[in-house]
Structure 1
């Protein structure tokens, strides 16, 4: 039986709509009623709304306008158009979604408010837009100064939480940092999912057997580098040619791969690295089979 596949734009729209609902729920039911904050543009919007008593729906739309313009220049028109619709949708959601004060427990608010916010932001990114323009700003700024995007985002958020500490007190600022941390970790998980890829490098004297089993048993593509092993302290002049194996697996497969390699060579040297994005090759062909 042939599985029904929805068109890409429909899937993107579903991601964005559900993301808006999650963000709206986090703001209206956790953060706004308890005067808590998040990082990024959302954090700035919450801070302005709290200090000047302006409805959060209007502030969050207005605050994102400059970043939508940046997105038009830095990314593309499709991204900017989707982001406009998403931000307006979030504003409408905040206007008409009933406010439900779920809990006053500060720890629960900071954790679950951040989790729901992170789910919403992550889903919107998977849908091809941004409900928070902080990363667009970091991308724009990163091309002009010698800092990474992560460092720029961290710097902006430090300023936000310092202002919150001065205006609303240290406890609120500290709990808001927890909110931001929960949101950022959750959004990362939603974006990358369980299929986050990990690069694995294997150096072993039994490389021929390992190569065969990686391909035939795990069905993974491999890349082989020619290298030398040895160069020990007591025998620095002694070395041997070796095939250095590199492959990419999902994080759920890392343990299985390590067990397979160590069953062949207990002394095999294995190290892993996070792959931010992977496409094509065997990965692409495997995806098409589903």
Structure 2
């Protein structure tokens, strides 16, 4: 157990340090030299830095402290301590690492600044901490008002971008919105995983044959739910017990599975759902494209 705990700790530290380096690169090589912004606490820090010319490293640390304290109550003390260390690490990174400016092209800055920022924040979250405390604020506020976390974050970011538009011009604000959008999509990609699987649910009168061929031909693990089928409008009182089959496959296997099930039972009800990350069980490695 100790070896597992140490391994997890090393992994968390690795993700966090890598996240700090990526965020520092995004800020100093793309966003800060071109007066671009992001959302959340980072966006507030960039805005204050641009308007009042205060060192961005100090602003990021100071603005995050209230959210770190809030995180101790909303999440736990471990999260708060790890987040404090990560934010201070980001501040030191911005102070002492001489990142070069990569480009002045606004489109490249907005896209790749967002990508690298998203990678950094996503890796830090995978390491068990946060480099931006805005979600802690949204979580805290969401428990006291009727808005969702996403709506609160959106509202805060709208205010940031409106201030940027007034003080620094609409084009800069619009490019910054693109940066934020790119960063948020990249964060989701990093957090939810590089592997994307598809969950398939099959309801068929020939469930025994479906189960056999899924296991024997596709080599997939399956899970069975006990259910009932029927309940049609013209015969609502008529139903039969049925095994509902669930399995997880790669995207490249969806067509093959659909063909296999259709061959067994053309009337089978099959629906799929996206699974961003899966581990354990009987999973094949994702096929190479």
Bin for the TM-score computed over the shorter chain: 0.7 to 0.9
Measure how far apart 1:91 and its partner are.
0.1
SS in 2 for 1:104: coil
Q: Alpha-carbon deviations, 1:85-135, whole Å to 9, x = none?
A: 100000000011214221111000000000000000010000000001111
1-side partners of 2:139 and 2:126: how far apart? 18
Unaligned runs of 5+ in 2: 284-289
CA–CA separation in structure 1 for the residues paired with 2:61 and 2:224: 47
Match of 1:260 among 257, 261, 284: 257
In the other structure, the counterpart of 1:69 is: 69
**1:1-290 aligned within 5 A:** 7-196=7-196, 198-216=198-216, 217-229=218-230, 231=232, 235=234, 240-241=239-240, 243=242, 245=244, 247=246, 249=248, 253-265=250-262, 266-274=266-274, 283-285=279-281
Work out the CA distance in 2 between the residues paired with 1:238 and 1:259.
35
The answer on whether the counterparts of 2:20 and 2:120 sit within 8 Å (CA) in structure 1 is: yes
TM-score (normalised: structure 2): 0.86
Structure 1, 75-84 or 95-104: larger mean CA deviation: 95-104
Alpha-carbon contact 1:207-1:242 (below 8 Å) kept: no
2:199, 2:145 → 1: CA distance? 30
Greater CA deviation, 96-105 or 44-53?
96-105
Flag the 1:198–1:260 CA change in 2: closer, same or farther, 3 A.
closer
Deviations 1:138-184 (CA, angstroms, capped at 9, x unpaired): 11111112222222211211111111111111111111111011111
Aligned partners of 1:28 and 1:97 also within 8 Å: no
Aligned to 2:286: none
Equivalent residues of 1:40, 1:134 under 8 A apart: yes
Superposition RMSD on alpha carbons, in Å?
A: 2.6
**Residue 23 of structure 1 contacts residue 120 of structure 1 at CA under 8 Å; is this kept in 2?**
yes
Larger CA deviation: 25-34 vs 157-166: 157-166
User: 2:220, 2:282 within 8 Å by CA — same for their partners in 1?
Assistant: no
1:201·1:244 contact (CA, 8 Å) conserved in 2?
no
- Size of the alignment, in residue pairs? 276
